[in-house]
Structure 1
């Protein structure tokens, strides 16, 4: 992401850094007041945001509120409740020869942070990291996705309502704006998006020695064994997969089902999808844009359609689709849309070997009544998280750190993990001025054998 930074963006960074340098954002009272203003502005902006989310993504109001605004409200409530404890110095023990000194760890703001948001959950995935950054005492430049323009404008209005412009600034625009921002010397960069762009962001941040949090994608596998109830499992998988038209980084990408349960599970999925979204699937929202629609439409020919399979280019709509006999390539790429390959398996070891050989995903899902099997899947795979007998819900638990591993991301946020992501852990050691034990000063007269016994 190389290129010259326009002076305007550099001036914004300078103004935020100057304000940060005054110390005005450090006190707990200042952070708490800013979080309260954000909470109040979010509540006042709800109608604006819901209208924007419908305009950009076709999201129904209930789904938009539950998957975007509610989670931000929850994050704000946790931060306001726990902020004092997060900020409190943490005492650590010292050895006898360091006495009477005392040691502690203090969380301090990383500095000025850049948050780059995605288009699929354009409000939630901009505002949740913003909560963490404000709680940590950072100044922030927030860049929403240009692929959700109405929501970007609504967020800009919300930020103006909630913050002093020298504390948090919202900058809108296309990829050229993102490129210009990433070359600036921010102290921390928080990016949510594709793995390819994430690499570019990390490279740009590395040139400034900035720390990064990368929330990327992943091919999230889902395993269903014969002990799982088909009806319950189908409901949970269908909800997690087809929420937001499958445009969710945590959505199950494909389902491995024990061969004896293949027919029962696919029949339950078809029935569930008809109840959820109607026989034509029109109850599910549309795809974000023509480029994504074309990419997904081409996948419809990669297997035998068991449900759905139509494509309405004018409406950018593909109904929830179940594929059997799918091309194995669909197990190696992130589908990121309303297409779910279902693959029968006989030997779980072969499934686990394929998952282990692939880049680690954001999540591994397993549906089973056998706890030992769930533990086996967990032990044999590597991922940002594991969810047993459900989907997506792990990301809604405020105190569970959220993030990926390797190609699916680095760093964690949500709750305390988010506060830590935007904080530096500063080591503090205090020794009384009037106490000065002589044993450490040269010439050291004690033999090495004695020092080893005393200090080893």
Structure 2
């Protein structure tokens, strides 16, 4: 493990000094300068471009990520988001002038506007499954808003976290962004220090615990959590194309994606057709499939694959020494089994058949508060109906995962799957608070506001103030 990961190298005194340096820089107000924010984002952009080859290598080392998935799932979204922020930040940062009702005496001759201001110190915890993107996208939003930031990347993806440490140390001012490497004890100690914004991506259980701790500081909190994202293929959909897309979404990063299709509902009479498509698709994955992050996760997925089901189907081989687990179907998995209760977060796809829409709707009632619902249909009334029936962070028709790359869409969960949203402009807004401003002239004479109050003026006041 890299020296930067050694928790013994970060003692409490050093951590305190680094946090105080961040706080002092924020209080100097230098981080709020638009020119400074843009310069730091451009510097980060240049360093990332310089180290692009290293980004691919780190993802290969941590997750055996195929180059196509590394580019489309991690590196390209980072570059696109940075470019968007640099281009749009001057516009986003401008106060928004508001119209004022001139006929209301309380606002006669007034001017009003809304501006966004940074919270202060942002504390960002990022996960291992997309170790670059899920660290840098929120961090870039925090930087764009003018906060000073602390990033704690996951110790479970050490190559990517070490690379983040090197890139940010080389490109971003140390009193603007600090990176702390290490395990849970480092995270726990960071939580003991004062912060104004907490951004966490990870499990629902850990999110709850951090939320409770953040409440003691009354900090603003964004939680990007897990969720059992359902996929549905309706009879009206092109079944072959829909099935192939579902399998692609499940296989991407070996299912280690918070918005991966967790399970699938299809017409019962098409289950055998889906198995045939799965057989052909599995053959195409050889050499193009990520590994599981570590042996503990491999053992967990191996255990989930043994959940009771009508049929268990896979065409690849498990390789425990490489943490490789093949794409696997569980046909009609038992509702009492772990695979039907937990978020799988791996390359296992439970498949459930339905005979009627009533049965499908009963299934979907179990999936409320998902990060995403994936719905395959060519029937517009069907799409509208199920969009209204379901509750999720996103509702995607005839595809999977692609909504994450749309520059104008927010990404976030609801209920158990998360709190708040980010991406693009929403990242800037996530890390900034609204501030209202109104200017009034002092020379106007609106004497009726002062006592003694006259009852005869009540109606007039109700209509015009």
Q: Please give the TM-score of this superposition, normalised by the length of structure 1.
A: 0.94
Quote how far apart the aligned CAs of 1:353 are: 3.0
| Equivalences for residues 51-62 of structure 1 within 5 A | 51-62=57-68
The secondary structure found in structure 2 opposite 1:218 is coil
Partner of 1:322: 329
**Whole-angstrom distance in 2 between the partners of 1:71 and 1:283:** 20
Partner of 2:85: 79
- Aligned with 2:229 (options 217, 220, 230): 220
**Whole-angstrom distance in 1 between the partners of 2:408 and 2:206:** 28
Quote how far apart the aligned CAs of 1:359 are: 4.7
Q: Does 1:88 align with 2:94?
A: yes
Q: Could you give the per-residue CA deviations for residues 215-268 of structure 1, whole angstroms, max 9, x where no partner exists?
A: 000000111111211221122112211110100000000000012322223322
**Whole-angstrom distance in 2 between the partners of 1:353 and 1:231:** 25
Partner of 2:8: none
| Equivalences for residues 359-374 of structure 1 within 5 A | 359-374=368-383
| Farther-moved stretch of structure 1 (419-428 vs 260-269) | 260-269
**Whole-angstrom distance in 1 between the partners of 2:164 and 2:116:** 28
Partner of 1:356: 365
Partner of 1:178: 187
Q: Which runs of 5+ in 1 are unaligned?
A: none
Q: Does 1:234 align with 2:243?
A: yes
Closer/same/farther in 2, CA of residues 365 and 7 from structure 1, 3 Å limit:
same
Partner of 2:302: 297
Partner of 1:105: 114
Quote how far apart the aligned CAs of 1:147 are: 0.1
Residues 189 and 205 of structure 1 are in contact (CA less than 8 Å); yes or no, is this contact kept in structure 2? yes
| Farther-moved stretch of structure 1 (352-361 vs 221-230) | 352-361
Q: Could you give the per-residue CA deviations for residues 59-111 of structure 1, whole angstroms, max 9, x where no partner exists?
A: 12332122111101111111112112211111223342211111111100111
The secondary structure found in structure 2 opposite 1:25 is helix
Partner of 2:417: 408
**Whole-angstrom distance in 1 between the partners of 2:448 and 2:87:** 47
**Whole-angstrom distance in 1 between the partners of 2:113 and 2:362:** 44
Q: Does 1:441 align with 2:450?
A: yes
Quote how far apart the aligned CAs of 1:447 are: 1.7
**Whole-angstrom distance in 1 between the partners of 2:12 and 2:295:** 31
Q: Which runs of 5+ in 2 are unaligned?
A: 1-10
**Whole-angstrom distance in 2 between the partners of 1:424 and 1:354:** 39
The secondary structure found in structure 1 opposite 2:32 is coil
Quote how far apart the aligned CAs of 1:358 are: 4.3
| Farther-moved stretch of structure 1 (341-350 vs 203-212) | 341-350
**Whole-angstrom distance in 1 between the partners of 2:305 and 2:454:** 80
Q: Does 1:25 align with 2:31?
A: yes
Structure 1 vs Structure 2 CA RMSD: 1.6
Quote how far apart the aligned CAs of 1:309 are: 6.4
Partner of 1:65: 71
Q: Could you give the per-residue CA deviations for residues 391-431 of structure 1, whole angstroms, max 9, x where no partner exists?
A: 00111112101000111000000011111110010111111
Partner of 2:313: 306
Q: Please give the TM-score of this superposition, normalised by the length of structure 2.
A: 0.93
Q: Could you give the per-residue CA deviations for residues 279-316 of structure 1, whole angstroms, max 9, x where no partner exists?
A: xxx53121110110001001222232233364221121
Residues 155 and 183 of structure 2 are in contact (CA less than 8 Å); yes or no, is this contact kept in structure 1? yes
The secondary structure found in structure 1 opposite 2:134 is helix
Q: Does 1:263 align with 2:262?
A: no
**Whole-angstrom distance in 1 between the partners of 2:77 and 2:134:** 10
Residues 308 and 322 of structure 1 are in contact (CA less than 8 Å); yes or no, is this contact kept in structure 2? no
**Whole-angstrom distance in 2 between the partners of 1:427 and 1:392:** 37
Residues 225 and 368 of structure 1 are in contact (CA less than 8 Å); yes or no, is this contact kept in structure 2? yes
Residues 185 and 210 of structure 1 are in contact (CA less than 8 Å); yes or no, is this contact kept in structure 2? no
Residues 332 and 353 of structure 2 are in contact (CA less than 8 Å); yes or no, is this contact kept in structure 1? no
The secondary structure found in structure 2 opposite 1:426 is strand
Quote how far apart the aligned CAs of 1:437 are: 2.3
Partner of 1:49: 55
| Farther-moved stretch of structure 1 (243-252 vs 90-99) | 90-99
Equivalent residues, number: 448
Residues 332 and 358 of structure 1 are in contact (CA less than 8 Å); yes or no, is this contact kept in structure 2? no
**Whole-angstrom distance in 2 between the partners of 1:210 and 1:32:** 26
